[in-house]
Chains A and B, each alone.
Chain A
Amino acid sequence: MVLSKNCASLLGRYFRNTLIPKTLSASYTSSQVHADVKLEWTQNLNFTGSSSLLIPSYRVLNQQGQIIKESEDPKLSDSVLEKMYKNMTLLNVIDKILYESQRQGRISFYMTNFGEEATHIGSAAALNEDDVVFGQYRETGVLLWRGFTLSELMDQCYGNCDDQGKGRQMPVHYGSKRLNFVTISSPLATQLPQAAGAAYALKGKNKIVICYFGEGAASEGDAHAAFNFAATLGCPVIFFCRNNGYAISTPSKEQYKGDGIAGRGPGYGINTLRVDGNDIFAVYNATKMAKEYAITENKPVLIEALTYRVGHHSTSDDSTKYRSVEEVQHWTATENPVNRLRLYLENKDLWNEDMEKQWHTESRKDILTAFDAAEKKSKPHWSELFNDVYQEIPDHIRKQMEEMQQHIEQYKDQYPIKAYSP
């Protein structure tokens, strides 16, 4: 009885509040908004299908390296153009050497970036060093652009005593506080909501967050959470999707049925751009515009860069099992992002074969020097395994460390201590 009375009074209040007051009801009917969805009435029953929206892909450079529409030329200085090209090709040589060195068992694992160079360098060049980066793992070019040294890179892949990550993670899990590049984590898409949070907290500080992820990772629940959080909470973050056609063996067409990843943006109320990811100027312009918008409006932007993973997923993968060599050749020959920039530079007389040869020799030498040095360095002291679980080592972990210390003294010959720092 008491309950039904309560209900009745609650209902009464509900109706009074929503329907009765004249002022409220007037604005309610005219706004045509219901549950914050804009309304337009129809008497026709038609599905709204996946093909109702097709987002065009923005392109600046054609395959011959020519600007298609003059107004879109970002007009970058010669030195910036040269740095872009040098970073892209440096990344190629790093990838080749580290890939091969893994095949020889010198490092335990590697992932190449072939085919996606323009997405890294084009986006990195459009941002400042104090814009914060949350990456997935295939964004090494971003680090190079910001000044991550060859030694830092090699030290991480070897997990040696100079690795900032102290040898705890697998190769390519880079991170650099100095360069505002948050340490890579293997679990996919976890960085997306984190990026939204970071952007929210950095609001008004004149910087933004960029978050890279693959089209495969975009299927994770975390990705959807991130888009919705960033939109509803007004986070100045650029969600940068590298849609490279594959998630290991799974082709994009098995990953989604809508209009790619970009197609999702409008559904979340996020301003969205789709670009040719093999066109460094398209990526640059898009990222530049996205940053301006994010920072002035305090809102997220979604960029989908269409590109192609030319290499195997990783050193653990053999992609010939699930895609044809012809398919890969098409992308390396006609859609090659590095060649496209090179043609542009040659057209402008900024680059030639001699410079190419010289740069190639120089970069290879520098990489091999850093590689050799990293290989020779010892691993961090084994007790580093116990540090940084917490800021202070708690008693139970300290006890385990002390027991291990004693054990190693007793069983010296059974542990590879010589490879580790004293």
Chain B
Amino acid sequence: MALNKLYTTCIQSSSFLKTFQNVFGVTQARNFFNYFPTTTMPVEGPTEKINMYQAINDALDIILKEDDTAMIFGEDVAFGGVFRCSVNLQEKYGQARVFNTPLCEQGIVGFGIGVAAVGSTAIAEIQFADYIFPAFDQIVNEAAKFRYRSGNQFNCGKLTIRAPCGAVGHGGLYHSQSPEAYFAHTPGLKVVVPRGPIHAKGLLLSCIRDPDPCIVLEPKVLYRAGVEDVPSNDYSLPLGKAEVLQEGDAVTLIGWGTQVHVLMEVAQLAKSKFNVDCEVIDLVSILPWDKDTICKSARKTRRVLIAHEAPMTSGFGAELAATIQEECFLQLEAPVTRVTGFDTPFPCIFEPFYLPDKWRCLQAIRNLLDY
């Protein structure tokens, strides 16, 4: 194409922009997963076909409506947030309850702890999980320990932090990270990762109502990846519960967030290439995590693969692997194996080589079967 044609003014020539509504909506890299929608309904009643950011918006709407102490805040939240999760909420509930903060993550979380400490409901948005680290002290030393250090006189359980995480195709070092393990290392926090619209809504509602501070890490690539029939009514999904998506007897595949979709496809590949049935589990909740479901499956299949985007060393897979070998040692046919991001920062142009993609997972299954 003649690049000369490119030379047209683009200051405010935004007609073509309208189709791209969220910050990382334009995915030009190859797809690294196929979306597997959830079809089992958590509750009866009417449903609506919506994607994940709309489901989150729906949950926030429900909370603002029912709880008049609830407030939503963060960077660029007022106009809807860079991923559109809070769109239209300020118009509906006013500037006092849905508002922009100055650009400061430690401020956002500290402010949220204060809101929660006096009994109001705080829903804080960190624009990208990669930018949660300025708030690390407030989260790890403050939110997580507020109850414990006061002998349960005070708590900030009404605080929920939402942050978009994970690979998106071209996010590079600072728009791709999956920091769940840092927070899972901190007693006092709860951490969940939804895999799609139904889970995003149900888990967010649970987290907001949970009596302890929670972090919801939302894989940003899923905001618009697919739609599901999401129940329109209020519902919640349990924290601390994993979900068996597909039963099998050969290998247990454990993941969370986007990786669940990768593993669903891997299970299909394993069936067609190796003629084995894998059991696919979405961990859903990183902390607390569902030891019973995981170990039950490990005892059944005797082979376990854990896959996550975050680096291998001290990733949350390490915790699962350690517990599985401790609990199921005699039943295992092979060492628990991990397929993860490498122990490097998240590299932009090399993302296709960095991710624990379906081929790396498939080969790991082969190795487990051949052990």
Contacts and interface: CB of A to CB of B under 8 A. Distances in A.
Interface of A: 93, 95-97, 99-105, 108-109, 112, 114, 159, 167-170, 173, 185-188, 216-217, 219-222, 247-250, 254-256, 310-312, 314-322, 325, 328, 332, 364, 368, 371-372, 379-380, 382, 384-386, 389, 396-397, 400-401, 404, 407-408, 410-411, 414-416
B352 interface: yes
Contacts of B3: 97, 101, 368, 371-372
Interface in B7-31: 7-12, 14, 16-18, 20-26, 28-30
A8 B29 CA distance: 72
Nearest to A329: B12
Contacts of B182: none
Interface string B317-349: 000000000000000000000000011110111
Contacts of B100: 249-250, 254
A322 B79 contact: yes
Given A168-B173, A186-B173, A407-B360, A332 B348 contact: no
A320 B353 contact: no
A200 to B, nearest CB: 22
A317 B82 CA distance: 8
A109 B342 contact: no
A322 to B, nearest CB: 5
B7 A96 contact: yes
Interface in B74-106: 75-76, 78-80, 82, 100, 102-106
A328 B352 CA distance: 39
Interface stretch (B59-67, B127-135, B141-149, B293-301): B127-135
Given A99-B10, A170-B348, A317-B23, A248 B82 contact: yes
A404 B174 contact: no
B181 interface: no
B72 to A, nearest CB: 15
Contact of B103 (A95, A186, A219): A219
B104 A221 contact: yes
A249 B84 CA distance: 12
Contacts of B78: 249-250, 254
B25 A316 contact: yes
Given A96-B9, A103-B16, A187-B133, A219 B343 contact: no
B170 interface: yes
A319 B13 CA distance: 11
Contact of A415 (B14, B25, B104, B352): B352
27 contacts: A108-B28, A169-B348, A173-B172, A187-B134, A187-B174, A220-B105, A221-B106, A221-B107, A248-B75, A249-B100, A250-B103, A254-B102, A310-B12, A311-B10, A316-B20, A320-B12, A321-B79, A322-B79, A379-B349, A379-B350, A380-B349, A385-B350, A386-B344, A389-B343, A400-B312, A410-B363, A414-B357
A368 B363 CA distance: 44
Contacts of B174: 170, 185-187
Contacts of B170: 108-109, 170
Contact of B347 (A104, A312, A385): A385
Contacts of A108: 26, 28-29, 169-170, 348
A97 B6 contact: yes
A170 B174 CA distance: 9
Nearest to A315: B26
A93 B18 CA distance: 23
Contacts of A325: 12
Contacts of A380: 349
A219 B347 contact: no
Contact of B11 (A93, A168, A311): A311
B313 A396 contact: yes
A371 B343 CA distance: 33
Nearest to A256: B102
A220 B76 contact: no
A247 to B, nearest CB: 5
A393 to B, nearest CB: 10
B12 A318 contact: no
B343 A159 contact: no
B288 interface: no
A328 B348 contact: no
Nearest to A105: B28
Nearest to B340: A400
B274 interface: no
Contacts of B76: 247-250
B126 to A, nearest CB: 12
Contacts of A386: 342, 344
B183 interface: no
Contacts of B16: 103
Looking at B8, B14, B357, which has the most chain A CB atoms within 10 Å of its CB?
B14
Nearest to A254: B100
A186 B130 contact: yes
Across the A-B interface, give the 4 residue pairs with the lowest CB-CB distance, nearest first.
A167-B349, A186-B174, A108-B170, A219-B102
B349 A168 contact: yes
A364 B8 CA distance: 12
B152 interface: no
